Amino acid sequence: MNLFSSAAFSVLALGTMPALALDLGNGLSLTGNVELEYVSYSDGDDATVGFSDLTFGWRSQGGGALGFGVDLTLVNFEDFDDNEGRGAVWGGLVLTTGLGEFTIGNPRPLIETMITSPDIGGFRLLDLELATVTGSTLEGLVLFQEDVDSYGVSFKGTSGALTYGASYHKLEQGPFEADAIELVMTYQMGKTALLGGAEIIDTPSTDGEKLLLGATYTEDRWSAGALLTSASQGSSDYDSVKLWGDYSISDAFSVGAQVMSLNGNSSGQTFYGITGEYGFGTGGFAELGVFDSDDAGGDRAYQASIGYRF
């Protein structure tokens, strides 16, 4: 399949989740999450899927504004029932400066790490078909398309409450090539965070553009967020609005609700989700969730998952 045809706008990607860094000492760190998810559909089908999204990092310990480092991110999902899976490797050499960090090699798309939102119903499996609308098309192309090579450079910096970044990637699939550019920013105003991002993928036949705008608000026991996305590829246009909120009943147990409307050129659909999560230890979690939509032919789905966040 040629990634620079209709597949260049495939709504496939692996969503990320908030994570805590595990300090391994000597400048080494591990960030990310692993999860095992069981899904049961209302028509009787089921699936068991494993996910991992792990970043190993190292930074030099010398003083001064100039330093060096390495990042390596492994993203993978595996369908154990069909014995099928996909994976992607991101990373590169890092130059740390007083302005920010430059990564050279194949840096992780910034949209995927700086603009995040919860999976609807907690379904990482089902959210694969929605995440590119609210995430990085570049990540989806590298993860799901066959024989796609990617390399590039990124920059990420911070100035007070503002965090900003930009990246450039070259994509190759056989004789076909494409250029991908990202611009991303977040701004923290007390308990409110403003999010914004843009992605342009220039192919020999057509250009794809995406704009993301969002905001989150966090209190001690509850939080809420919204993410608006507008995207186009050739004659195809997509717009989405995603809303979510969660409430911590106790330090260990929280509940959440999510809703997302997705509208294309001639059709639209709304998705709904409810989640309940119990945390244990320093990063373990167990979750139950329900996913549904207003599609008369769609199946309601239920999920149970267990995992760990680093």
* CA 202-118-24 angle, 5° bins: 90
pLDDT for 144: 84
Establish if 179 belongs to a structural domain.
Answer: yes
For 29, the domain range is: 6-309
In a domain, 1, yes or no: no
- On whether residue 232 sits in a domain, the answer given is yes
Q: Is 173 inside any structural domain?
A: yes
Does a structural domain hold residue 104? yes
Q: Give yes or no for residue 71 having a pLDDT over 50.
A: yes
pLDDT value of residue 296: 67
Structurally, the chain folds into a number of domains equal to 1
Q: In CATH, what number is assigned to the domain containing residue 103?
A: 2.40.160.10
In a domain? residue 30: yes
pLDDT in the model for residue 235:
80
**pLDDT of amino acid 159:** 96
Other Cβ atoms within 10 Å of 44 Cβ, number: 7
93 or 10: which carries more pLDDT confidence? Answer: 93
Q: Strand 192-202 relative to strand 207-218: parallel, antiparallel, unpaired?
A: antiparallel
Query: What percentage of residues in the chain have a pLDDT greater than 90?
Result: 68
Give me the DSSP letters along 219-242: -SSEEEEEEEEEEEETTEEEEEEE
Per the domain annotation, does 126 fall within a domain? yes
Nearest-Å Rg of the Cα atoms of the chain is: 19
pLDDT digits (tens, 9 = 90+) for 141-150: 898 888 899 9
**Domain membership flag for residue 209:** yes
